[in-house]
Amino acid sequence: MSLSGLMESYAKLNASCSSMFSGATTSKTPPLINHASTIHSISHKSGDLARQALEQLNELRKSGQLCDVTLIAKLNTTDEADSASSGGGGIQAHRLVLAACSQYFKGMFTSEMAESKLEEIELMGINETTLQTIVDFCYTGEIIVNDSNVQSILPAANLLQIQEVQDVCCEFLKKQLHFSNCLGIKKFAELHCCRDLCKAAEKYMLDNFQDVLTTEEFILLPPDLLVEVIAHNELNVKSEEQVFEGVMTWVHYDELNRQAYLAKVLENVRLSLFNPKYLVNTVSEEPLIKKDMACRDLVDEAKNFLLLPAERADRQGVRSKPRQPTKYGALLYAVGGWCSGDALASVERMDARTGEWRTVAPMNKRRCGVGVAVLNDLLYAVGGHDGQRYLKCVERYDPRTNQWSSDVAPTSTCRTSVGVAVYDQYLYAVGGQDGVSCLNIVERYDPIRNEWKTVAPMNSSRLGVSVSVLDGCLYAVGGADHKSPLNTVERYDPRTDKWYMVRQMSARRKHLGTAVYNGFLYAVGGRAESCELNSAEKYDPVKNEWIPVNSMMSRRSGVGLAVVNDQLYAIGGFDGQAYLKTVEIYEEDVGISNSRNQELNQWRHAGSMSYRRLGGGVGVICLTNEVLAACTAYGTDSTCSMDGGGSACLLEMGYDMSFP
């Protein structure tokens, strides 16, 4: 059959089919779909096409088909091309695929650069294995990063501007962070402009600095990087003396070449925060310091700050302000208190990393109105009331063993509603009441000798007083004199063994909470003459004035106050109707922009404890991550819904009937 005959037959067949669909012979072909249909279109997006296309492109690459460029790896300008010298003849690829995956290649191939027309392109600073791995990723979307190749893949991905590979490498290195390598990883991240990795390594270094001090990386730091490290305000150390000892270890490692840098490095050690005895007996007697005038001047500056408290306000500076570490390993403890008609022996702790509360070993004694403080990473519970009698016994908790011991010397007199604080390796017990009278007695505990010694008494007797340490002095804030709540505040200087009155608060407060936060002394909650308070204020030691602070969300008397990870925690208490187990957090705006600015200078809810607590104590223990891991193995989840009366012995302890 001829072609014309075939076409004629096809036309007749088509006309016949059209008649069948229309039901009648017509010159106009009707639509196949009824317009009454509710479905007018279907949208389809293939989930496999992109993958299949990439697989086909990879097969073409492997077989060398349609490839239009060959990449030659070359480590440096003096070496022969790595790909060519290995006998591989370079790595063949398709420009389109490379340009789609790499901004580097896209810029090269779509510009007027000479390389856009070359069939072979040399890539400097990359070895063939690394280049092959990255090209494979462009065709497969798969890559394996490990400790043997990450140091070559990340720089190559950075050069070729393949962000996804950079991110994979950075995530791998974040998971490898350890106190023995964090300084090296930080330097590596800075070199290759990996900001997130650099921040993660720096934070790890700051949080674990006590361990970093012991590493070879620290000892081998050049002087400028050492200064950069120890200048950080967030450095996590138990005491500033640790920084000094690390610096001296660094200097002595290469004394001949490093002693010239000692004064510059020492400028970033906060000598004014040292124990005075350590400053005089250890620092001043260091031979390298004695023969360096600039170093001696720094030591004299610290001595003057410590020995001349009247001039301290004029000498304030970075070297006299405590560091503010993020303290990744912080554990917040809530101890004892009152609920459901009885004193509590229960203790629970919050892990700052998770915000979760877990109960730990209870005290040996029930204690309400207990004074709690941390000394040498041990939690001390001083005095209190067990529901029947006033106590002068003291017990101590070790978070490593989850055990309380009672081998601590008792105070000279029974004390409940007592204020306690730690300064210069001594534990102070301030005021309270003994069941007969309101006290102005102050005692100091020496953990080495296991004995209490009486120091100068306060000017006023105070029960329900709160005590905190600011700029080397103890502040006794508020309380009551057995007649009415007080708004007076006095300051104790251990160097002179004297108490001095300072500016009074705007509100009368007993059973309040105090803490030092961002250089200010905060006073929150408590009870006035006839009601519980939610108000707060802070004391500026330089201006000797109290400044209003936004009020808490709940009224809280018998509240615990503590600083954890640069945030202020208000814990438990009594709101006038119910015992509280809720927790509030306050974070101050210090002029640093972040995503949570709208939450700053405001109180917000932050979960709840397991137990409701009135008149319990709080303390914060900061530990290295290794010790923290062991400590957090202890503890159990529990819930407790305690409500009740039992106001009789609370009246004896100085709580009003309306403060049950």
pLDDT digits (tens, 9 = 90+) for 446-490: 999 999 999 999 999 999 999 999 989 999 999 999 889 999 999
Please name the helix (run of DSSP H) or strand (run of DSSP E) that holds residue 139, with its range, or none.
helix 128-140
Tell me what pLDDT residue 128 has: 93
Please work out, in degrees rounded to the nearest 5, the angle formed at the alpha carbon of residue 656 by the alpha carbons of 651 and 660.
80
Cα–Cα distance between 368 and 415 in angstroms, integer?
A: 11
Please say if the pLDDT value at position 657 is more than 90.
no
Q: What tokens appear for 607 in the block?
A: 């979960």
Please say if the pLDDT value at position 652 is more than 50.
no
Q: What tokens appear for 183 in the block?
A: 């300084």
pLDDT digits (tens, 9 = 90+) for 606-639: 999 999 999 999 999 987 666 777 777 777 654 4
Instruction: Encode 21-39: b = buried (16+ Cβ within 10 Å), e = exposed.
Output: eeeeeeeeeeeeeeeeeee
Interacting residues of 506 by C-beta distance below 8 A, sequence separation 6+: 487, 537, 546, 548
pLDDT digits (tens, 9 = 90+) for 411-432: 999 999 999 999 999 999 999 9
pLDDT digits (tens, 9 = 90+) for 345-399: 999 999 887 889 999 999 999 999 999 999 999 999 999 999 999 999 999 999 9
* Cβ–Cβ under 8 Å, residues 294 and 265: no
* Cβ–Cβ under 8 Å, residues 182 and 207: no
Tell me what pLDDT residue 601 has: 86
Q: 3-state DSSP call for residue 28?
A: coil
Tell me what pLDDT residue 236 has: 84
pLDDT digits (tens, 9 = 90+) for 223-249: 999 999 999 988 888 789 999 999 999
Cα–Cα distance between 634 and 655 in angstroms, integer?
A: 34
Cα–Cα distance between 571 and 513 in angstroms, integer?
A: 9
Interacting residues of 305 by C-beta distance below 8 A, sequence separation 6+: 272, 312, 315, 320
CATH architecture of 330-652: 6 Propeller (2.120)
Q: Which amino acid is at 190?
A: E
Residue pointed to by tokens 């494979």:
136
Tell me what pLDDT residue 234 has: 87
Cα–Cα distance between 590 and 40 in angstroms, integer?
A: 60
Cα–Cα distance between 552 and 604 in angstroms, integer?
A: 8
Please say if the pLDDT value at position 649 is more than 80.
no
Interacting residues of 238 by C-beta distance below 8 A, sequence separation 6+: 210, 377, 622
62 C-beta neighbours (distance < 10 Å), count: 11
Tell me what pLDDT residue 50 has: 84
Please name the helix (run of DSSP H) or strand (run of DSSP E) that holds residue 313, with its range, or none.
none
* Cβ–Cβ under 8 Å, residues 603 and 553: yes
* Cβ–Cβ under 8 Å, residues 559 and 524: yes
Residues 556-572 have a mean pLDDT of 94
Tell me what pLDDT residue 3 has: 42
Residue pointed to by tokens 């932050």:
606
Give, as one character, the DSSP assignment of residue 281.
Answer: I
CA atoms within 13 A on the CB side of 171: 8
Please say if the pLDDT value at position 87 is more than 60.
no
Please say if the pLDDT value at position 281 is more than 80.
yes
Interacting residues of 75 by C-beta distance below 8 A, sequence separation 6+: 82, 124, 125, 126, 127
Cα–Cα distance between 115 and 274 in angstroms, integer?
A: 63
Tell me what pLDDT residue 350 has: 94
| Residue 518 Rama label (left phi>0; alpha psi -120 to 50; beta) | left
Q: Which amino acid is at 230?
A: I
Please say if the pLDDT value at position 578 is more than 50.
yes
Please give the C-alpha separations between residue 298 and each of 267, 305, 430, 459, in angstroms, as whole numbers: 7, 11, 35, 36
The answer, as to whether pTM is greater than 0.75, is no
Q: Specify the higher pLDDT residue, 315 or 435.
A: 435
Domain ranges of the chain: 63-176, 221-320, 330-652
Please give the C-alpha separations between residue 242 and each of 314, 577, 628, in angstroms, as whole numbers: 27, 47, 19
Q: Measure CA 449 to chain center.
A: 35
CATH number of 63-176: 3.30.710.10
**Mean pLDDT, the chain, whole residue set:** 86
Q: Residue ranges of the alpha helices (H) in 161-215?
A: 163-175, 182-191, 195-207, 209-212
Interacting residues of 301 by C-beta distance below 8 A, sequence separation 6+: 271, 272, 315, 319
Widest distance between CA atoms in the chain: 128
Q: Which of 272-276, 294-298, 581-585 has the lowest mean pLDDT?
A: 272-276
Q: Which residues pair with 563 in a beta bridge?
A: 568
Tell me what pLDDT residue 44 has: 84
Please say if the pLDDT value at position 599 is more than 80.
no
* Cβ–Cβ under 8 Å, residues 284 and 276: no
Interacting residues of 176 by C-beta distance below 8 A, sequence separation 6+: 147, 185
Cα–Cα distance between 72 and 125 in angstroms, integer?
A: 11
Full strand arrangement of the beta sheet holding 347-351:
357-360, 347-351, 330-335, 617-622
Question: What is the total residue count of the chain?
Answer: 660
Q: Which residues pair with 73 in a beta bridge?
A: 123
Q: What tokens appear for 32 in the block?
A: 């196949």
Pairing relationship of beta strands 347-351 and 357-360 according to DSSP bridges: antiparallel
406 C-beta neighbours (distance < 10 Å), count: 12
From the options 2.60.40.10, 1.25.40.420, 1.20.140.10, 1.10.510.10, give the CATH code of 221-320. Answer: 1.25.40.420
503 C-beta neighbours (distance < 10 Å), count: 15
Q: Which residues pair with 570 in a beta bridge?
A: 561, 584
Tell me what pLDDT residue 84 has: 46
Cα–Cα distance between 288 and 249 in angstroms, integer?
A: 12
Please say if the pLDDT value at position 556 is more than 50.
yes
Q: 3-state DSSP call for residue 384?
A: coil
Q: What tokens appear for 542 in the block?
A: 């330089």
Tell me what pLDDT residue 391 has: 97
Contacts 24+ apart (CB under 8 A), 583-589: 583/350, 583/607, 583/608, 583/609, 584/552, 584/553, 584/554, 586/536, 586/549, 586/550, 586/552, 588/517, 588/518
Tell me what pLDDT residue 646 has: 40
Q: Measure CA 473 to chain center.
A: 27
Interacting residues of 7 by C-beta distance below 8 A, sequence separation 6+: none
Give, as one character, the DSSP assignment of residue 543.
Answer: T
Please say if the pLDDT value at position 292 is more than 90.
yes
Query: Which band of pLDDT confidence, cut at 50, 70 and 90, is reported for residue 588?
Result: confident
Q: Which amino acid is at 227?
A: V
pLDDT digits (tens, 9 = 90+) for 114-154: 888 888 999 998 999 999 999 999 999 999 999 999 999 99
Tell me what pLDDT residue 328 has: 54
